[in-house]
Chains A and B, each alone.
Chain A
């Protein structure tokens, strides 16, 4: 959704179009992932409030600078793609088959982010995105590493960190992370959640207005 919000605000018309396209890709990917969860026996979570969404804090609010878009694109999207790769190459059959198309599409997000990173100095946005990406991957010897040892994930935490650094060739990784307050489900250290307008759209309650009254 945050990508899509930039469809009329990017620095070139071509980037406007790409922002819309990548926003649409990612909504499609969320559908695939929710579908996979269902198939794996996890019922849909309640969407009562913003705290039920396990999103990184970077996505809580709309971005106000193009550098934030670029850093999200280059760092967060890359970290996400690496995790999808780890799942697609792991031992869970459902994911091995379902995530292929997603990975193909994510390749273009990576290319987009990588090229724009050379163009803009993302500075603080890059640092923040990278920290949150590492928090999202999680600490060593916790759930991700356990899943890796069990063969479900093709990569462990160290692999993911290294691969992310490789994708961000030449950029300096953030210093040691602080794990106090880290929530294993939401995979973040800060409280908070998405803005009210986005929440309402996700809940889709306004659709009732367009249902037949007798209905």
Chain B
């Protein structure tokens, strides 16, 4: 049975207007909106401990502080998504601190630890560029007013992360030698993981409710292609223009061509870099947010200690 305001919502979306209140939503729209917000909040939140681990290896105080500034932004972005969920009736406290670590929704990339400053700056150039494409799409096309407005801040700050990633990548590339080789290795393993970030290729996807509800404007392949062309390809990896760096996962791009219909996800195995990626994953960080006693922590602090 169609909810009472189904027609009204459809008309509102068709007019290109923004949804502002739960009274204008159908239960289906609310569910999709919450899911999209949750993925966004979780991804931003999980990026923080992942980046922190690498920021600890910053070569100087200036570099460390740049890392902290980026983490502060990511946490504030997570706060925006979780607070909107809170306004929609969820509990931020429960979502962050009381959820099973396995229930968090974020790209697989954050399950692979970033272990050096070089890996952090490549993550800034690649992962944050992916986030920029995805959130930029929601900022531009999204139908939920409060989120669209909240993303103004997010877009400005993600741009700063990209610049940090690009500037440092350039610097490391110019340093040459071992530093540059490490940069190349980071590009090699992070590239396919970022391709995967955008989800299933369009030809394997049955139907997108998110598109119907204008919770996003572009398809997975369109966004993936945008990532490949605007940010990553043109600017971020100067090693490539120097002719010594190659993207070894070119097959991934076939998904957007549609001809081969290759799935982005299973074709590349992260085991080429990590002996056992599943054993080292973001779940290690999550106890930091679930405040379980005795759980491993990064750093080894016990959250909430001293609280009544």
Contact = CB atoms under 8 A, between A and B. Distances in A.
A137 interface: no
A17 B60 CA distance: 22
Nearest to B118: A210
A66 interface: yes
Interface string A67-94: 1001000000000000000000000000
Interface string B156-182: 000000000000100110111111000
Interface residues of A, number: 43
Given A4-B68, A120-B307, A9 B179 contact: no
Contacts of A206: 59-60
A201 B306 contact: no
B71 A7 contact: yes
Contacts of A122: 306
A113 B108 CA distance: 37
B306 A20 contact: no
A208 to B, nearest CB: 8
B301 A207 contact: no
Chain B, interface size category, equals 35 or more
Contacts, number: 123
Q: Choose among A201, A206, A207 the residue with the greatest number of B CB atoms under 10 Å from its CB.
A: A201
Interface string B283-306: 001001001000001111111111
B49 interface: yes
Given A210-B179, A213-B177, A204 B298 contact: no
Residue of B65, B82, B93 most packed against chain A (CB within 10 A): B65
A35 to B, nearest CB: 15
A180 interface: no
B13 interface: no
A212 B173 CA distance: 9
A21 B59 contact: no
B21 interface: no
A48 interface: no
- Specify which of A1, A4, A6 lies most central, judged by the most chain B CB atoms within 10 Å of its CB: A4
B176 A213 contact: yes
B48 A204 contact: no
A4 to B, nearest CB: 5
B308 interface: yes
B151 interface: no
B61 interface: yes
Given A66-B303, A66-B307, A212 B174 contact: yes
B79 interface: yes
Interface stretch (A57-65, A142-150, A153-161): A57-65
A35 B171 CA distance: 27
Contact of B48 (A8, A120, A197): A8
B72 A21 contact: yes
B175 A213 contact: yes
Contacts of A9: 288, 297-299, 301, 303
Contacts of B174: 212
A20 B68 contact: yes
A64 B59 contact: no
Contact of A16 (B75, B171, B285): B75
Q: Which 9 residue pairs of A and B lie closest in terms of their CB atoms, listed nearest first?
A: A204-B60, A20-B72, A67-B306, A206-B59, A120-B306, A9-B301, A207-B59, A4-B68, A11-B304
Interface of A: 1, 4-14, 16-17, 20-21, 23-24, 27, 62-67, 70, 119-122, 125, 197, 201-202, 204-207, 209-213
Given A9-B299, A24-B68, A201-B58, 14 more contacts: A4-B65, A6-B301, A8-B48, A8-B49, A9-B297, A10-B303, A11-B291, A13-B45, A21-B72, A24-B69, A66-B304, A66-B307, A121-B308, A210-B168
